[in-house]
Amino acid sequence: MFNKTLTLAAAGLAAALVVAGCATAPSSAELDQQALAMLKASFRDQGIAKVDRLNQDLGQKACSSDKPPAEALAKQIEAESLASIKWPEGGRYLGDWREGEKLPQNGRGMTWTDASADPKANGANCYNCHEIDKKEISYGTIGPSLWNYGKLRGVKDVADPASAAIVQYTWGKLWNSKAYAACSNMPRFGHMKLLNEEQLRHVMALLLDPKSPVNQ
């Protein structure tokens, strides 16, 4: 009799625990899964902006929380990004800074109201986040100032071998910013086909050409 009561009580307690278990908050991993399902269910295609834009690559996924990724993972993202950089054909890094001035002013491209995803339809968006030429006072502050970018880095002649390292770094940064900082806020202009090589060369010239207004 006593035993039976005890058994019943134990069963009751177990049942209560199970119910309580069901009612406890979902784990962090479960919430991650639920958030992904919610995103997939909430968005639809519109124009050039298709739902496949929600499919994250390694870096996007690793940089999607309020905490940075583990160091080993960050290093892996940076190494893979560096390896993915396409260097300019024939080592032609610089174009025309006059053309390069137009692209940073232009913040258009890649939204669902843009007709084409061709890089030719895109601006470089630079002034949204960076100061570049002091004459332009309407600039954002998410990225560092690029005023005197080449001058401050000692670029007097872009063809001089002494300038090679900074010229190559700048191309790499524009092509795939994640090569140098896994969770950089900056878009990967070459890697994601936001700008073509010619456009990148013009932006390069604006930043590095000693004759560019940026370096006066």
- Please state the separation of Cα 117 from the chain's center in Å: 17
- In whole angstroms, the minimum distance from the beta carbon of 146 to another protein comes to 15
User: In the range 34-93, which residues lie near another protein by CB under 8 A?
Assistant: 34-35, 38-39, 41-46, 49-51, 53-56, 59-61, 63-66
Measured from the CB atom, the residue of 54 and 162 that comes closer to another protein is 54
3-state DSSP call for residue 46? strand
- In whole angstroms, the minimum distance from the beta carbon of 158 to another protein comes to 28
Environment class of 71 (CB within 10 Å of its CB; exposed 0-12, middle 13-18, buried 19+): exposed
Measured from the CB atom, the residue of 32 and 160 that comes closer to another protein is 32
Q: Which tokens go with 158?
A: 């872009």
User: In the range 163-192, which residues lie near another protein by CB under 8 A?
Assistant: 178, 185, 187-188, 192
Contact 124, 189 (CB under 8 A): yes
The residue within the footprint of another protein, chosen from 9, 17, 26, 87 (CB under 8 A), is 26
Environment class of 5 (CB within 10 Å of its CB; exposed 0-12, middle 13-18, buried 19+): exposed
What would the x/- binding string for another protein be over residues 90 to 129, using CB under 8 A? Answer: --------------------xxxx---x---------xxx
120's CB contacts (< 8 A; 6+ apart) are 196
The residue within the footprint of another protein, chosen from 11, 16, 31, 79 (CB under 8 A), is 31
Q: Which tokens go with 27?
A: 């784990």
Helices (H), 53-190: 58-62, 71-84, 97-105, 126-129, 149-152, 164-175
Q: Residue 141, interface with another protein (CB under 8 A)? A: yes
Measured from the CB atom, the residue of 73 and 158 that comes closer to another protein is 73
Q: How far is CA 23 from CA 17, 20, 84, in A?
A: 10, 5, 47
Contact residues for another protein, defined by CB under 8 A = 23, 25-26, 31-32, 34-35, 38-39, 41-46, 49-51, 53-56, 59-61, 63-66, 110-113, 117, 127-129, 137-142, 178, 185, 187-188, 192-194
